[in-house]
Amino acid sequence: MGYFLYLYWPSLSRLIPSAGPVGGGNVVELTGANLSTALLVHFGDAIAFPTAVSEGQLLVTAPPVAGPGTVPVYVTTTGGVSNRLLYTHAAAPSVTGVSPGTGPIAGGTTLVVTGTGLSQVTAVTVGGLPAVSFRAYSDTLLLVVTPPGTPGPADLVITTAGGSVTVAGGFGYQAPTQTAVSSAPDPSVVGEVTATVTAVAPGTGTPTGTVTLAIAGRTPRPCPWSTAGPARCSAPCRRAPTSPPATTTAT
C-alpha cells in the first residue's frame, strides 16, 4: 500500500537585496514559508538553483541577464509555485560631472553629482571616508555631503546595486587661509600695501578671487592674486606726508 504526502504551497515575503548587477553573481536571500523543497528560483526568464537553509529561507546566486530592468522572482518547489516579488537588475553607474570641485577640509560641502545609473546608490565615500549623507533624486542626479578631510585631491567612490565607479581626484579639500597685511616701508609713510595669503596647511592650491586693499581715508582698491612666486597681491595706496597715521586692512 502506497503513501501520498501533501506539501504546503510555498510563499515569498522578501528579497534581500532586491536589486543587483546585470552580470549577476551576487547572493540573494529569499524569505517566506514552505521553501525547503525548492527546486528552482526564477528571475524573469532566467533560472537559478537555490540552497534551502530552512523552511523559511533560501539562498541563491542571481543569474546574469542581457540588460537592466525589473523582473518577477518566484520559486518552484515540490509543493507548487510561489507568489512573485520584484527584483531589479541595475546598470553599472557612471559619473559625468561633480560640482563644486573643491571645498573646506571641515567637510559639509554639498556635491551635485551627475551621471547614469545613480538611483540605486548604496554607499558613497570621499577620500576613503563615508559621506555624511547622500540621496539620489533620479537615475542621473545624486547629492552628496562631504565628510571632513585632509588638504588635497580626494577620490569620489559611488557604489550602487549595479556596481561602483571611482572618480579619481573628483573633489579637492582646501584648508582655510589667513590674510596677513604687510608693507615695506611702513604704510603710514609710503602706503605701498601688500596682502599675502598664508595657508594653514600645505597642498591647498592657488588662492582665487580678489583682495580689496584699503588705507584709512583712501578709496579701497581691488587687487587680483599673483600666480608668480608666493600667493600675494599688492596695490599702490599712498598717503601724503602731512596726513595723519593710517591703518591698513585687507578683505
- Residues 50-60 have pLDDT tens digits of 999 999 999 99
Q: Which has the minimum average pLDDT: 138-147, 163-172, 242-251? A: 242-251
Residue 115, classed as helix, strand or coil, is: strand
Tell me, yes or no, if the pTM score tops 0.75: no
- 26 phi and psi angles, rounded to 5 deg: -85, 150
pLDDT of residue 164: 95
**Overall residue count recorded for the chain in this entry:** 251
Instruction: State the pLDDT confidence band at 74, using cuts at 50, 70 and 90.
Output: very high
Q: Is the pLDDT of residue 106 over 80?
A: yes
Please answer whether residues 132 and 145 qualify as being in contact, where contact means their C-beta atoms are separated by less than 8 angstroms: yes
Place of cell 550602487: 160
Please name which of 56, 51, 26 lies closest in space to residue 120, comparing C-alpha atoms: 26
Q: How confident is the model at residue 108 (pLDDT cuts 50, 70, 90)?
A: very high
Residue 15 neighbours by CB under 8 Å, 6+ apart:
28, 29, 30, 73, 85, 86, 87
Mean pLDDT over residues 54-68, rounded? 95
- Which pLDDT score is estimated for 193? 56
Contacts of 249 (CB under 8 A, 6+ apart): 181, 213, 214, 216
- Give 116's strand partners: 94
> For residue 175, what pLDDT band results from cuts at 50, 70 and 90?
confident
Range of weakest confidence among 106-120, 146-160, 169-183 = 169-183
Query: Which has more pLDDT, 10 or 222?
Result: 10
Distance CA 13, CA 30 (A): 8
The helix (run of H) or strand (run of E) holding residue 213 is strand 210-215
Exposed / middle / buried, residue 2 (Cβ in 10 Å: 0-12, 13-18, 19+): exposed
pLDDT at residue 101, as a whole number: 93
Whether residue 246 is predicted with pLDDT greater than 60 in this model: the reply is: no
C-beta of residue 193 within 8 angstroms of C-beta of residue 211: no
Q: What is the pLDDT of residue 203?
A: 47
Burial (CB < 10 A; 0-12, 13-18, 19+), residue 209, is exposed
User: Higher-confidence residue: 85 or 224?
Assistant: 85
Q: Is the pLDDT of residue 198 over 70?
A: no
Separation of alpha carbons 10 and 79, rounded Å: 7
**End-to-end Cα separation, the chain, in angstroms:** 100
Residue that wins the pLDDT comparison between 79 and 124 = 124
Q: What is the pLDDT of residue 96?
A: 96
Residue 193: other Cβ atoms inside 10 A: 25
Q: How confident is the model at residue 220 (pLDDT cuts 50, 70, 90)?
A: low
Question: Each residue of 132-147: pLDDT tens digit?
Answer: 999 999 999 999 999 9
pLDDT surpasses 60 at 77: yes
